[in-house]
Structure 1
């Protein structure tokens, strides 16, 4: 019962109902119009015929006596089923009535008429007739005025039969058109509604699926256009939600993975102090130093993870600023903190459209990465180039470089290239991931290449103008 109610509330059912109602109204209006026009024309034709017969009758009547042979001869219409009476009344005398053949027996039958169409009469066993009356006064001699009353009953049975045929034909056409149109619109509505049904079914399957990969998508239909666009927007929303869930899973996975090792080390030193701290007091300072260093590293790691998590929802405010001035500021600050020599090329106009604070974080992260993986007496170079649309910032170092196998993953969270060579390098492995995310928020691009003959070259592309 519930399924039947649901089916009647579907778009296809509502479209079919609306079409059926409109079709019924149009059909009734068209049928009534046709019947009215045809009926009026038929009655008008009969009225014209009756007037013609009346004129012939008056010409065939002499001194109140009609000449029936002449009347039938001069009439161009079929008078076989037409009845006529001519009543003549002279002053002081009773009326004299002349009937055409069979008229007296015809008038003996009861008849029915209607107020709105008084000229139409129905007589049992004889059918429908059109009744017309005319009065005339004629002179007999010099003084007598004779009143003549003419009455004609013109058969409408042929017209009624034609009218009945028209009604039956219209009825059959209307029923056939209604059923054909109803079937067509039902199929069309179902076909138009099918993409929505498929969309609902696909959504239901995703909702009840036990193993969700978070890469599911909804089917996209070619037509109608509205459902096509809706499916695309649904998939965009679904993709955004899936990416958000995957990022949250990645965050939990990364955090648990990176925190597991230092937590195990901390618990190990705590157990060591509990077991041997009283007998071997010399291990206490060493363990405390380890606990302090690891807890500080965990704090920085958590802060970096939280920063990455917040970046998934942040929307940076972009403005115009000079990238060269920002580089000078960063180089002045870090020249006293790192042993490598810092240099950059000069460019007259290095204006970019980006967020200055986030670009400073990007440059600092790339500088910190170059510092960690480069010899102390090497050179770190900032190189700015420009085209009509973009500014490219290159950070070149003379360090250990990055292999071709590692380049596709260098911006992933916690990924550290060449573990055997960089295992003594401190860091959480989140610096480049944060930099890549900030570049994306600035609507730019970041890539890594080899710095010939030695080292790495990170290239950050930023827009010069608002897109």
Structure 2
């Protein structure tokens, strides 16, 4: 039973999920790349600033102490939130440590650092600082040559604030673009999936319809192109199945009609024998002859129906053979059985790729049809001609002909053209249907047209080589 689709398993939902995953991955990669590059550049800039401050600090040394006024004056950067410690170690006296203003109070606060970025320190009251250390020796003064250790703590609070703004901006952009993109792709996926939903709904309605006319069709969407083509192919398949069902219904109706008439006649003669057979024995042989003839006709009809049924599930073995040789054999065999004169033209190379036994049945069926509908003194002509990749066999008679209205139906089962003129002609209306099916199994074509000045012309086209 058809069930309504689970929204989480529809194509639209799966496309949306896939897109959401891809979008999340892309945004994460882009965001992490931007943050990494920006963060690296900011830290590199701070490192360069610290190196610049360090050079100015070394140049501002007067004796064993730095000149803080000169250092601030010559620095191109804001040093108001920068802290410096200079430690001088001489051989004959204790180490001398100089601090920039407010540095001692700054250093008294506890700090945290991390192994991967040990040069970055965090103080709860001061924030983040970049710590740089350099070593050197005094180049002047009484302690010339003494070892000096320079330490600078450069504030990273501006960088952190900028980095925070960047993170917040990227986060907002990512969230906004993700929501907009998710909404857009969900809407697009639903729009692209809607034709398939319409197809499913229409199919469900057809399957559950109480009265099926076998002329139903599915809706055809204009886009996307794949669904448009799929809808067209579905309708072609549906028309083929509907036509097959209609043909089967017509076949059953026609078979029932064809069998009902002789059965009614047989039952009538049986009742006649029962009622009057004792008193009028002369009617018994006549009734038995009628019963025998009608039962034989029903037997032939049933055999033809079985042949048609088997042809729906058969593949013929195709080989190369000479059509002219087969035609000569058939003409020689049937010329003695029918009053019409059989004539054929002469053509040398008429090799075809088909099944010889089935082609013989086709020719026999067309010959039998021409014989039934042609005057006894007329001529039936066979013409064999080249037609590109095919060999055409034409069977021309001088009979009653076929109207333009009947031509499209002469190969239908049980169809008999011009019932008023052909009702006395023996036949079941299956001969041409069998011939047409055999031609189709041989990958050929069969058509009918008028034979000028009168009569009919059946044309069978068979392949010269493998199709």
Structure-to-structure mapping, 1:23-42, within 5 angstroms: 23-42=23-42
CA spacing shift, 1:92–1:227, aligned 2, 3 Å:
same
Deviations 1:53-101 (A, max 9, x none): 1221122122322111111122121112112222334456444432222
Partner of 1:386: 386
Partner of 2:84: 84
Per-residue deviation, 1:112: 2.5
Find the residue that maps to 2:412 and give its secondary structure.
Answer: coil
Deviations 1:397-435 (A, max 9, x none): 233333444333333322223333322211112212222
Find the residue that maps to 1:393 and give its secondary structure.
Answer: strand
> Which moves more between the two structures, 89-98 or 262-271?
89-98
Residues 251, 305 of structure 1: 8 Å contact kept: no
Task: State how far apart, in whole Å, the 2-side matches of 1:259 and 1:327 are.
Answer: 34
Residues 91, 145 of structure 1: 8 Å contact kept: no
Deviations 1:203-259 (A, max 9, x none): 212211222233333344454454445444444443443343333223211211101
Partner of 1:273: 273
Partner of 1:179: 179
Matched, 1:114 2:142: no
User: Normalising by structure 1, what TM-score?
Assistant: 0.91
Partner of 1:413: 413
Task: State how far apart, in whole Å, the 2-side matches of 1:70 and 1:387 are.
Answer: 109
Find the residue that maps to 1:121 and give its secondary structure.
Answer: strand
CA spacing shift, 1:15–1:80, aligned 2, 3 Å:
same
Partner of 2:331: 331
Find the residue that maps to 2:388 and give its secondary structure.
Answer: coil
Residues 251, 309 of structure 1: 8 Å contact kept: no
CA spacing shift, 1:450–1:85, aligned 2, 3 Å:
closer
Gaps of 5+ in 2: none
CA spacing shift, 1:392–1:142, aligned 2, 3 Å:
closer
CA spacing shift, 1:371–1:64, aligned 2, 3 Å:
same
Deviations 1:313-357 (A, max 9, x none): 333333332222111111111122112222212122222333222
User: Normalising by structure 2, what TM-score?
Assistant: 0.91
Task: State how far apart, in whole Å, the 2-side matches of 1:394 and 1:54 are.
Answer: 109
Residues 64, 141 of structure 2: 8 Å contact kept: no
Residues 321, 353 of structure 1: 8 Å contact kept: yes
Query: How many aligned residue pairs are there?
Result: 465
Per-residue deviation, 1:152: 1.5
Structure-to-structure mapping, 1:68-467, within 5 angstroms: 68-91=68-91, 93-138=93-138, 146-467=146-467
Residues 382, 393 of structure 2: 8 Å contact kept: yes
CA spacing shift, 1:409–1:239, aligned 2, 3 Å:
closer
Residues 323, 351 of structure 1: 8 Å contact kept: yes
Residues 87, 150 of structure 2: 8 Å contact kept: yes
Find the residue that maps to 2:436 and give its secondary structure.
Answer: helix
CA spacing shift, 1:49–1:60, aligned 2, 3 Å:
same
Per-residue deviation, 1:370: 1.9
Task: State how far apart, in whole Å, the 2-side matches of 1:354 and 1:144 are.
Answer: 115
Task: State how far apart, in whole Å, the 1-side matches of 2:57 and 2:401 are.
Answer: 124
> Which moves more between the two structures, 217-226 or 161-170?
217-226
Per-residue deviation, 1:113: 2.4
Residues 64, 88 of structure 1: 8 Å contact kept: yes
CA spacing shift, 1:367–1:101, aligned 2, 3 Å:
same
Gaps of 5+ in 1: none
Deviations 1:97-136 (A, max 9, x none): 3222222333333333223222212223322111223334
Partner of 1:50: 50
Task: State how far apart, in whole Å, the 1-side matches of 2:309 and 2:366 are.
Answer: 20
Task: State how far apart, in whole Å, the 2-side matches of 1:395 and 1:144 are.
Answer: 128
> Which moves more between the two structures, 26-35 or 143-152?
143-152
